[in-house]
Amino acid sequence: MEKRVFFRNRLLPWLLVAPQLAIVAVFFFWPAAQALYQSLVEQDAFGTSVVFVGWQNFERLFADRSYLDSFVTTAVFSALVAVIGLSIALTLAVMAERVTRGAAIYKTLLIWPYAVAPVVAGVLWLFMFAAPMGVVAYALRELGLEWNHLLNPHHAMALIVMAAVWKQISYNFLFFLAGLQSIPRAQLEAAALDGAGPRRRFWTIVFPLLSPTTFFLLVINVVYAFFDTFAIIDATTHGGPGKDTAILVYKVYYDGFKALDIGSSAAQSVVLMVIVIALTVIQFRYVEKKVQY
Amino acid sequence: MTTLRQFLAVASLSLGAATTAQAQTEIQWWHSMGGALGEWVNDLAQDFNKSQSEYKVVPVFKGSYDESMTAAIAAFRSGNAPHLLQVFEVGTATMMASKGAIRPAQEVMQQAGVAFKPDAYVPAVAGYYTAPNGQMLSFPFNSSTPVFHYNKDAFKAAGLDPESPPKTWPEVAGAAAKLKVAGHKCPFTTSWISWTQLESFSAWHNTEFATKGNGMRGIDARLSFNTPLHVRHIENLANMAKSGLFVYKGRGNVADATFVSGECAMITGSSALYGNVTRNGKFGYGISTLPYYPDVPGAPQNTVIGGASLWVMSGKKPADYKGVGLFFAHLSKPEVAAASHQRTGYLPVTKASFELTDQSGFYKKNPGTDVSVTQMIRKTTDKSRGVRLGNFVQIRTIIDEELEQVWSSKKAPKEALDSAMRRGNELLERFEKANK
């Protein structure tokens, strides 16, 4: 199946990929190298004194109980965001695909949230849940649930998960929809003629055929939850109550940009980099085997 | 060759022309004053620019305090720092420790040929920005202090006397209880919990928040806010929280909005909240002094300042610094400083501006505006001069985190304070090591 293209000129292929390589080098490798370097030095905010400290930044991190706790917080948060986000998006995609009248309107509306910046998404959800006057907080109180994400860690976690999921649903939805549209009609019709109901057809035909899409989205969503969610947390809970919603990337952001502790922030981003590399390797090694292309 | 020479001649001529056209030296000023306060900053720059023709101060709004500080640090690292940077009070120790990055405000003023009189400035304000050797390092620009704000309409509705606000913590609890009985959902709340309930609370009771005069006398200071007095206060607040008299509304100044909207009836917060309430609040509004415990000897002493000061960044041309010095002299003029104080609710910067405001009858016309001033213009003690610590931003966050565990009844007050001190002291030790 693999398709190979041969170039006569040995330089041409390099020339063709050069722009992309340059971008990757400048925007990915250079910053990553900077982070590695900065994680090994201790410097004041303005960089006027820079002292090489070896592994000290890392040693201090792993001696900090709250840092270790935030691994658990991050795992819980990422799992919730990925699982809930994918389930809802898949449900919506399946339903949107069945719609014949006004399909474009539904699709546009579902894709909309993707245009919203994470901070705005955070603020939006914060408004709805702000006690006592937020729309949802008010409704919940009428139902007998006193919503308080400022002091209740479960409420706080629920709030950031909802905001993060909502922000990512559009993206997931788009890919699922495209995946659904590429499923051969003939197979579905054959199954229907053999007497398989919609539920059966979904689980035995659609879901397995969607697995490459699902796998891709799983990787993307985990990366998203790990890296792109600090703005949502900064806008809603600030990592509180206590440190109960302080996920790893939020701490990187807080220590680097608010507390100006660049050494520790760099060390944390190196740790994050290692985690994501490891996660991606694991996913490709073990999960991908279950994927049918 | 002739063409090249001609070209060079023309080029140098046009360069010369460019310099004459740019005779006005621009002074970049990065600040964090949004909304009405942003207009105030622009007016100040405009007045100064009109008063002379050599220099032009250009104010640039750079977002919140921490955003503008981060932006300035990035700019400094790439050699594009502004001349002037507005830095919040918790960033003071960081700025002081960055010796190569800043130039002392006093030195800049003196070299500009401006008469600098250290005793012209309000001691409780300028003292905070003064190095142990007596040199004023940054220009005290906008300083505030925590005061007690209350809703007179809510007081009336609860059968309380709107003209005699509670003066002590037991009285606050009493008033809160009455407000609750009258159906109020949020009798008392607070902004800036570390600043109002621990830092100012300590100074107000003439007790140390941290050793070494709260860090004013050296960077080897350590936190000391787990005394029986501090524990008693946090216990008191925890009990009020349990019975719904104190409602926690979040970190920073998030709680301010709940007072302005009328949701909460009493709040301890910045004196600079005054402008916001008078403009947006739809209720009778009163200001009073910060509550205290009457049985503590020496209380009430004075409160500590918040707000920000202007720092001069290094690495600019000597001529530019002359303009900065002249601008500081302009801001120190009694009539300019007095107008700023009356317009914003920030503390007066110089003694003369306070006297001018007093003589004009401003305090009589606007009752409550003098509370912050009288809380500050007192003889300070070694324990009450202010709190100046390294890594202070993080220490305040730690205090937020630990106290949240108290309000949700997960930790006992003493346990939370001990834990906040231990975590905070680790940061102070690091700061001390890094800045030896």
Task: Report, as an integer, the average pLDDT of A92-118.
Answer: 85
Question: Which of A149, A230, A231, A84 lies closest to B251, judged by CA?
Answer: A149
Contact between residue B343 and residue B134 where contact means Cβ atoms under 8 Å apart: no
Contact between residue B76 and residue B47 where contact means Cβ atoms under 8 Å apart: no
Element (H, E) at B60: strand B55-61
Task: Report, as an integer, the average pLDDT of A13-22.
Answer: 92
Could you tell me how many CB contacts below 8 A there are between chain A and chain B?
74
Residue A1's pLDDT is what? 47
Of A70-79, A156-165, B10-19, B403-412, the poorest mean pLDDT is in: B10-19
The nearest CA of chain A is from the CA of B75 a distance in Å of 9
Average pLDDT value over all residues in chain A: 88
Q: Does B422 touch chain A (CB under 8 A)?
A: no
Domain ranges in chain B?
Answer: 25-144+306-365, 146-303+390-434
Contact between residue B403 and residue B251 where contact means Cβ atoms under 8 Å apart: no
Residue B17's pLDDT is what? 43
Report the sign of the C-alpha dihedral through residues A172, A174, A179, A185, in that order. Answer: positive
Task: Report, as an integer, the average pLDDT of A269-284.
Answer: 87
Residue B5's pLDDT is what? 53
Burial of A54 (0-12, 13-18, 19+ CB in 10 A): exposed
Domains of chain A, CATH where assigned: 66-290 (1.10.3720.10)
Question: Which of B147, B101, B141 lies closest to B121, judged by CA?
Answer: B141
Tens digits of per-residue pLDDT, B275-329?
Answer: 888 888 899 999 999 999 999 998 899 898 899 999 999 989 888 999 999 999 9
Other beta carbons within 10 Å of A277: 10
Contact between residue A255 and residue A261 where contact means Cβ atoms under 8 Å apart: yes
- Which of B76, B248, B410 comes nearest A150 by C-beta? B248
Tens digits of per-residue pLDDT, B14-70?
Answer: 444 444 445 789 999 999 998 778 999 999 999 999 999 999 999 999 988 888 988
What's the CATH class of domain B146-303+390-434? alpha beta
Is it true that the peptide bond before A132 is cis, omega within 30 degrees of 0?
yes
Residue B75's pLDDT is what? 92
Q: Say which CATH architecture domain B25-144+306-365 belongs to.
A: 3-Layer(aba) Sandwich (3.40)
Tens digits of per-residue pLDDT, B152-209?
Answer: 999 999 999 999 999 999 999 999 999 999 999 999 999 999 999 999 999 999 999 9
Backbone angles phi, psi at A58, to 5 degrees: -75, -40
Degrees, nearest 5: CA angle B242-B245-B249: 85
d(CA A158, CA A146): 14
Query: Which chain B residues are within 8 Å of A150, Cβ to Cβ?
Result: 248-250, 404
Average pLDDT value over all residues in chain B: 90
More confidently predicted of B161 and A277: B161
Q: Do B101 and A238 touch (CB under 8 A)?
A: no
Q: Does A31 touch chain B (CB under 8 A)?
A: no
Mutate to test the interface with B, among A41, A44, A233 (most CBs of B within 10 A): A44
SS3 at position A145: coil
Contact between residue A162 and residue A140 where contact means Cβ atoms under 8 Å apart: no
Task: Report, as an integer, the average pLDDT of A234-256.
Answer: 91
Tens digits of per-residue pLDDT, A127-154?
Answer: 999 877 788 988 888 888 888 999 999 9
Tens digits of per-residue pLDDT, B341-384?
Answer: 988 889 999 999 999 999 999 999 888 888 998 888 777 888 88
Three-class secondary structure assignment of A220-244: HHHHHHHHCCHHHHHHHCCCCCCCC
Residue A233's pLDDT is what? 94
Query: What is each CA distance from B76 to A34, A133, B79, B272, B311, in whole angstroms?
Result: 18, 43, 5, 30, 13
Q: Where does B220-338 show beta strands of DSSP type E?
A: 264-270, 285-288, 306-313
Q: Do B434 and A240 touch (CB under 8 A)?
A: no
The confidence band for B131, taking pLDDT boundaries of 50, 70 and 90, is: confident
Q: Does B251 touch chain A (CB under 8 A)?
A: yes
The nearest CA of chain B is from the CA of A127 a distance in Å of 13
The confidence band for B126, taking pLDDT boundaries of 50, 70 and 90, is: confident
Residue A8's pLDDT is what? 76
Q: How many CA atoms lie within 13 A of B152 on its CB side?
A: 13
Tens digits of per-residue pLDDT, A57-78?
Answer: 999 899 988 899 999 999 999 9
Residue B18's pLDDT is what? 44
d(CA B257, CA B251): 12
Element (H, E) at B19: helix B2-21
- Which of A133, A151, A238 comes nearest B248 by C-beta? A151
Residue B58's pLDDT is what? 96
- Which of B99, B248, B434 comes nearest A42 by C-beta? B434
More confidently predicted of B137 and B18: B137
Task: Report, as an integer, the average pLDDT of A228-250.
Answer: 91
Q: Does A184 touch chain B (CB under 8 A)?
A: no
Q: Does A190 touch chain B (CB under 8 A)?
A: no
Residue A4's pLDDT is what? 67
Q: Do B410 and A42 touch (CB under 8 A)?
A: no
Tens digits of per-residue pLDDT, B213-242?
Answer: 999 888 899 999 999 999 999 999 999 999
Which residues does B385 contact at the CB level (< 8 Å), separation at least 6?
B124, B127, B128, B203, B213, B214, B216, B304
Residue recorded with tokens 């994927």: A291
Pairing assessment for the beta strands B55-61 and B285-288 based on DSSP bridges: unpaired
- pLDDT tops 90 at residue A160: yes
Residue A3's pLDDT is what? 60
Q: Does A141 touch chain B (CB under 8 A)?
A: no
Query: Which chain A residues are within 8 Å of B425, Cβ to Cβ?
Result: none
SS3 at position B88: strand
Q: Classify residue B246 by its DSSP letter.
A: B
Q: Classify residue B350 by its DSSP letter.
A: B
Query: Which chain A residues are within 8 Å of B263, Cβ to Cβ?
Result: 132-133
Contact between residue B67 and residue B363 where contact means Cβ atoms under 8 Å apart: no
The yes-or-no answer to whether B25-144+306-365 and B146-303+390-434 have a common fold is yes
More confidently predicted of A99 and B76: B76
